[in-house]
Structure 1
Amino acid sequence: MHSTAAKITMRAAMVTVPLLAAGCFMPTKQPDAAMVKPAPEDRVFALPDQGASTGNVVVTRDIGAVGSKCAIGVMVDEQMAAHLNTAESVTFALKPGRHLLTATGIDGPGLCSFNATKSALARRRSTEIFVDADTTRKYRLSFPAVESPPVIEPAF
């Protein structure tokens, strides 16, 4: 009797675990506008003075299971600018010209501490952007695949 229960449990696990894993490891997607909230002020960091003439750059983090429990860092010109959780957004007023946006893992509790390992930081991705005065450009922070690091790409 005991071995029958064990066999049933094992078979259930063999079916359930792959289904759960498949659902958890889908690429992230853009959230509906109604879901997006601004990042709290304590996770948005000051950037150097950008001057009087600026353009806005909005970065919104996707929703989905990949990395959803860990904040992801957004760097502007190699300086940490914000830590975003899923469906959070941050707006940067940047001087016109070329800038570099970088998505990077940051240290956090539990398994999130793996985001700050040397190998994770080596896999961070940067995107070159161009800012025009008095314009707003939107970007999304996403995980295109489970194996990939987070990326920042244009959003529409």
Structure 2
Amino acid sequence: MRLLVALIPLIALAGCSSWQADPEDITPVPEERLRGYQTPVANGGELVVTRDFGIRGGGCYVAVMVDRRLAARIHVGEQVRLQVPAGMRIVSIESDPEDDTLCGKGDLLRERAARVEPGEKLQFRISSDNRIGFDIQQVDIQ
């Protein structure tokens, strides 16, 4: 019985962590939630950002930012492709500035520096867990 009492909170906490979407389950961010970086840039590169599935924040959009400018509002299981100039870029996630509900009132801010070479594609993953909340990490292309 003690083991069961100890395991239930751990199972509940693990349920709030996100999990990586299978490629066939990922959908593109709808056009009405794209805010920029959709036009190819001469000698530029591409940023591909995918948001995990998960319960934590599952009812809220997350703002995907490039160089601190809103690029897209992304939901769970979605992916956005962004066309950016080559060079150093700041790729970040924030609370959705266009949301006037509780979802947009948070203080989410996670930033990553990324060097984009001409013709290069960089991939990022938005995940969440109970210890650090939301995060964005660059992932290796497979």
TM-score, normalising length from structure 1?
Answer: 0.74
Indicate yes or no: 2:110 matched with 1:125.
yes
Moved more, 42-51 or 52-61: 42-51
Asked if the contact 1:97–1:130 (Cα under 8 Å) also holds between the matched residues in 2, the reply is: yes
Change (3 A) 1:21 1:28: same
Computing the radius of gyration from Cα coordinates, the structure with the larger value is 1
Name the CA distance, whole Å, in 1 between partners of 2:73 and 2:123. 17
Q: Select which of 67, 81, 103 maps to 1:91.
A: 81
Moved more, 76-85 or 64-73: 64-73
Instruction: Report the counterpart of residue 91 of structure 2 in structure 1.
Output: 101
Name the CA distance, whole Å, in 1 between partners of 2:38 and 2:81. 15
Say how many residue pairs are matched.
134
Percent identical pairs in the alignment equals 25
Change (3 A) 1:126 1:75: same
Indicate yes or no: 2:136 matched with 1:152.
yes
3-state SS of the aligned residue for 2:21?
coil
Q: One-letter code of the match for 1:135?
A: E
Instruction: Report the counterpart of residue 13 of structure 2 in structure 1.
Output: 22
Task: Name the structure where strand makes up a greater proportion of residues.
Answer: 2
Q: CA deviation at 1:53?
A: 1.3
Instruction: Report the counterpart of residue 75 of structure 1 in structure 2.
Output: 65
Change (3 A) 1:124 1:149: farther
Q: Select which of 96, 118, 126 maps to 1:141.
A: 126
Q: Select which of 37, 46, 52 maps to 2:42.
A: 52
Q: One-letter code of the match for 2:86?
A: P
Name the CA distance, whole Å, in 2 between partners of 1:149 and 1:64. 12
Asked if the contact 1:47–1:81 (Cα under 8 Å) also holds between the matched residues in 2, the reply is: yes
Q: One-letter code of the match for 1:80?
A: L
Task: Name the structure where helix makes up a greater proportion of residues.
Answer: 1
Q: Which runs of 5+ in 2 are unaligned?
A: none
Q: CA deviation at 1:66?
A: 1.3
Asked if the contact 2:61–2:103 (Cα under 8 Å) also holds between the matched residues in 1, the reply is: no
TM-score, normalising length from structure 2?
Answer: 0.81
Asked if the contact 1:47–1:79 (Cα under 8 Å) also holds between the matched residues in 2, the reply is: no
Asked if the contact 1:61–1:142 (Cα under 8 Å) also holds between the matched residues in 2, the reply is: yes
